[in-house]
């Protein structure tokens, strides 16, 4: 980190607009695309603020003229997402495990989805309540959006089933930082006819190579190194043949 690839400077000294740093960002994006097996029509955005900022960003960007979205309430973090989304539009709690104390994922038969909703939001792993999705819901033509902060890259995933997935990178693929980085993978079609908002607009991030503003310059190279480490086969948490205890490093 003190002498990045012979440039005789730390990544924290590099201008984020320099060719050297853009090479780092491109490498991080490429590594993450490989790990996710990302379809070609999906973008990766590295945005500051962490997943919590996305609770508001999603509603600001995706509700658009529809101004309504479905949310599945499964615990603390989905409840926080609902609270933020209500600031920007109508939230339909299509299913909730609150009456049972958030001790399970409501079965799909109990979901009351709105076919006209802008998107359907789930939290794949509620760490505060100890419940996790072990199946992916079919939401039809409504884009499925998932907060995967606590289990991002912890298992193999068919990203094409989602309109958008997002996660705070410091959980599984990078270091924590004063302004946490959020890794977001989203389909181009998810943003069609939506209403973007200036610096929080995900569509704007797509056109600016995922750097619409000054990035977290230390986090991206660590994420890239971590991606290379996983891609080379050291550890894949979702691999059924990997029986090492949790937290065991090679």
Which residues are designated catalytic?
77, 147, 171
Question: For the chain, how are helix, strand and coil distributed in percent, rounded to 5?
Answer: 35, 20, 50
Name the nearest CA neighbour of 220 among 44, 33, 27.
27
**Residue whose token pair is 């009456």:** 99
141 within 8 A of 93, measured Cβ to Cβ: no
DSSP 84-99: HHTTTSEEEEEEE-GG
Q: Tokens standing for 136?
A: 């992916």
Three-state DSSP state, 124 = coil
């Amino acid at each position: 980190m003190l002498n990045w690839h012979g440039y005789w400077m730390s990544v924290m000294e590099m201008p984020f607009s320099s060719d050297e740093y853009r090479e780092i960002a491109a490498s991080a994006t490429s590594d993450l695309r490989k790990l996710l097996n990302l379809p070609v029509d999906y973008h990766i955005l590295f945005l500051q603020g962490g997943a919590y900022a996305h609770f508001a960003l999603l509603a600001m960007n995706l509700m658009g003229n529809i101004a309504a979205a479905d949310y599945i309430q499964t615990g603390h973090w989905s409840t926080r997402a609902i609270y933020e989304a209500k600031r920007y539009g109508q939230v339909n709690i299509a299913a909730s495990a609150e009456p049972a104390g958030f001790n399970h994922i409501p079965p799909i038969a109990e979901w009351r989805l709105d076919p006209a909703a802008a998107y359907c939001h789930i939290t794949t792993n509620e760490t505060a309540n100890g419940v996790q999705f072990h199946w992916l819901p079919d939401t039809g033509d409504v884009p499925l959006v998932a907060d995967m902060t606590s289990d991002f890259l912890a298992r193999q995933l068919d990203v094409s089933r989602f309109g958008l997935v997002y996660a705070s990178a410091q959980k599984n693929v990078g270091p924590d930082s004063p302004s946490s980085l959020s890794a977001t993978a989203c389909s181009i079609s998810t943003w069609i006819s939506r209403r973007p908002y200036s610096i929080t607009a995900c569509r704007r991030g797509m056109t600016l190579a995922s750097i619409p503003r000054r990035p977290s310059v230390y986090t991206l190279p660590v994420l890239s190194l971590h991606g290379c480490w996983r891609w080379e086969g050291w550890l894949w948490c979702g691999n059924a043949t990997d029986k090492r205890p949790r937290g065991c490093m090679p």
